[in-house]
Amino acid sequence: MAGFSVTIPHKQRILRYLDVIDPAARRIGAVNTVWRKAGKWRGTNTDADGVTAPLGRHVRIGKSSVLVVGNGGAARGAAFALAAAGAKLAITGRNLDRVRALAKACDAEPLSREQTESRMFDVLIHATPLGMAGRAEQCFFDDHIPAKLVFDMVYNPLETALILESEGPGRRGDPRPGDVPRTGRAAVRNLDRRERAARGDAEGRARRACAGSGYGRLIRIMAT
């Protein structure tokens, strides 16, 4: 085995089994891409670029208010990347103790779900298992979607309950943002450039292949 991708709920737990962890992934506290080099297992996190790269094409992240929903590995990747980009960040989720811990780690505002009902953000990043295949009918928000732009990191199915609610009565989705890659392939290409010895060999191909395979759904909400 040359490498593999890591998904929910193992992105944080995998760190204890790795020999080398990319500094950014260590700060985030989560890894989603693992490969082997020189007999050592190495890990990095491409979720961060997988959020900020497509999002940056539609908003000025450093001038935007962003609500991250979740506190697991994917949420951590998004939160740390957005904080580093200068976003005015808030975090909510079902486990308020974990929400507060993540918010403290990345200098964000912790919010309960009830507190989000009276707020409106420029961007909402959804990073919980709600809406995934097997839980497709579930949505973190009952009705009010507190953002103008929604990025759902759930990619199976693409039309999640959150996306359907966002495009529901009284609002419509702008098709221009469309489906955006969440794989972080650009981040893996950067790894290849930094590790020239791996470029073009089986290890490099394996790392690119295992750098995640999902797509998030990014839509803009506009009043009708």
Domains of the chain, start order: 3-46+182-213 (3.40.50.10860), 48-179+218-223 (3.40.50.720)
Q: Which of 11, 40, 63, 148 is catalytic?
A: 11
Global pTM? 0.78
Q: Is 11 a catalytic residue?
A: yes
Q: Tens digit of pLDDT for each residue in 89-110? A: 999 999 999 999 999 999 999 9
Positive or negative torsion for Cα 199, 192, 185, 58:
negative
Q: Tens digit of pLDDT for each residue in 141-183? A: 987 899 989 999 887 887 888 888 887 655 545 444 444 444 4
